[in-house]
Structure 1
Amino acid sequence: MATDSTPTEIGPHADEPHDGGFAGRLNWLRAGVLGANDGIVSTAGIVVGVAGATAERDAIVIAGVAGLVAGAISMAAGEYVSVSTQRDAERALLEKERRELLEEPEEELAELAGIYAGKGLDPALALEVAEQLTAHDALGAHAEAELGIDPHDLTSPWAAAWASMLAFTMGALLPLLTIVLVAASARVAVTIVTVTAALALTGFVSARLGGAPPGRAVARNMAGGLFAMLITYAIGTALGTQIG
């Protein structure tokens, strides 16, 4: 507890990251882990399913590479469209906020003070805080408090697209390389074991990034991947027997 002789120092804890970009980097990292997880599961399902239908390495490679490329492009395109739509909406809101700050500065100041008063500040103090923040960066203060947007750090659609494509590709390479490099007699079993271990790792990392207990997340991730591989392998085996 602070005393008159030992005043409380202003600033974040030394052992906690509070820089403005930390939350954004954490979200990017979490998205990367999830993208890699998607690549692992979808590609593993494809190659294991094809391996259930045929032992021909060329067929497995073609199917795996096609799945990797299609999945990576789909992830990139989906992320680009999603982030572009979000960015357009954020820009429209920011433009509206700029116009209101220019045309109705007093009303906007009162609105910002009301937001801080609603969070528990004394009305007089809330007004003083609003005035100081508005004088420092009017758009930034209002956008953050009213819209939850940082006008100086909007997400790039292209960066999101490339990150998603890369994460998916890195994840997809694991089951593809495993099933191609392992001997035919053991390729399915080794791929299932390798993929399950990788899913345990991605489940653990995603849980830790979110601050959640890892046990349940790891179990869900492993169960989902195993289910996908077993189903596709069973379908591939059934189709391979009928076609063959």
Structure 2
Amino acid sequence: MYSHHHENHLIQRAGWLRASVLGANDGIISVTSLIIGMAASGASTQTLLITCIAGLISGATSMAAGEYISVKSQVDIEEADLHTERKELEKNPELELKELTHIYVLRGLEPNLAHEVAIQLTAHNALEAHARDEIGIHENTSANPLQAAGSSALAFSLGALFPMFAILLSPEGLVDKTVMIVGIISLAILGAISSYFAGTSILRGCLRVTLWGVLAMGFASLVGSFFDVSTF
């Protein structure tokens, strides 16, 4: 008697997790670096706040549009491949069966067993078998364009709120330091959360995300120090 053994795999999270982590990471790093760069140029607190709001709005919109276009392009390619494969299955079913058999042989099955597996999977759902094993299209790794765009925009906005709150709550004269500290802490938290959901090392995730963020902030501060907006 067959007993179903259920396992919780993490690959189903790939579609939304990638967009969310990318959006939040970009929201924290880009807006924080923007504020630090402006602060290094001598901009006032009011100017920094306006810059932060503008960065949040433009960044979230850009992330949503970019993510939608990127994922939609991938979906269009997959649909085109499926259309081609569907036509080949109608025109040359025997050749497609041999092709599927060859794939399973390359994966380690004996020729006779590979042929039998190919026959049974073709009888069950030929297009699904070829999509998964020949093209590499699987429902667990397919992303939804609208979901990816929404996740990315929302995550970017949430990430950009950290430097905004840092500006609002920071004492006068300590805005740049407060924004940088909050940015580093928020990046470390993001790295820990994303690593947790991905099932990888939390410490490694924190260090990886934080390191790149610190480099971006340092570079932005260096560039901003070349200017003095108070003279304009």
Q: What TM-score, normalized by structure 2, do the two folds share?
A: 0.88
In 2, the alpha carbon distance for the partners of 1:207 and 1:232 equals: 27
| 1:202 lines up with 2:190 in the alignment | yes
Deviation at 1:147, TM superposition (A): 0.4
Match of 1:126 in 2: 114
1:17 counterpart = 2:8: yes
Equivalent residue letter for 2:155: A
Q: Structure 1 vs Structure 2: percent identity of aligned residues?
A: 41
Provide the C-alpha distance between the structure 1 equivalents of 2:84 and 2:25, rounded to a whole number of angstroms. 39
Aligned counterpart, 1:140: 128
Alignment of 1:185-200 (within 5 A): 185-200=173-188
Secondary structure (helix, strand or coil) at the match of 1:140 reads: helix
1 CA distance for matches of 2:14 and 2:204? 21
More off after superposition, 108-117 vs 199-208? 199-208
The correspondence for 1:82, drawn from 70, 74, 77, is 70
Whether contact under 8 Å (1:34, 1:206) holds in the other structure is no
Please give the secondary structure, in 2, of the residue aligned with 1:108: helix
Contact 2:184 2:213 in 1 (8 A): yes
Q: Structure 1 residues 143, 201: CA separation in 2 closer, same or farther (over 3 Å shift)?
A: same
The one-letter code sitting in structure 1 at the alignment partner of 2:30 is S
Question: What is the deviation of 1:90?
Answer: 0.8
Q: CA RMSD in A?
A: 2.5
Give 1:104 shift: 0.9
Larger relative contact order (CA 8 Å, sep ≥ 6): 2
Q: Partner residue of 1:40?
A: 28
Match of 2:103 in 1: 115
Question: In the TM superposition, what is the alpha-carbon distance from 1:209 to its structure 2 partner?
Answer: 4.7
Number of the residue aligned with 1:70: 58
Q: How do residues 228-243 of structure 1 correspond to structure 2 at under 5 angstroms?
A: 228-240=216-228, 243=231
Q: 1:241 to 1:70 in 2, by over 3 A?
A: closer
Structure 1 residue 89 displacement after superposition: 0.9
CA distance in 2, matches of 1:70, 1:234: 23
1:173 to 131, 155, 161: 161
Residues 96-111 of structure 1 mapped to structure 2, 5 A cutoff? 96-111=84-99
Q: 1:183 aligns with which of 171, 185, 193?
A: 171
Secondary structure of the corresponding residue to residue 239 of structure 1: coil
Q: For the residues of structure 2 that align with 1:231 and 1:221, how far apart are their CA atoms?
A: 16
Superposed CA deviations along residues 76-107 of structure 1, whole A, max 9, x for unmatched, are 11112211211111111000110011111111
Q: Distance in 2 between the 1:34 and 1:79 partners?
A: 10
Q: Deviations over 1:41-62 (max 9, x none)?
A: 0000111222233463321111
Shift of 1:223: 2.5
Instruction: Please say if residues 48 and 229 of structure 1, whose CA atoms lie closer than 8 Å, have aligned partners that are also in contact.
Output: yes
Per the normalisation by structure 1, the TM-score is 0.84
**CA–CA distance in structure 2, aligned partners of residues 70 and 207 of structure 1:** 28
How far, CA to CA, are the matches of 1:187 and 1:132 in structure 2?
66
Tell me, in whole angstroms, the C-alpha distance in 1 between the residues paired with 2:3 and 2:97: 26
Counterpart Cα distance in 2 of 1:127 and 1:145: 14
Matched length: 232
User: Taking structure 1 as reference, are residues 126 and 158 closer, same or farther at Cα in structure 2, changes over 3 Å only?
Assistant: same
Match of 2:109, SS? coil
Query: Comparing 200-209 with 81-90, which one deviates more in the overlay?
Result: 200-209
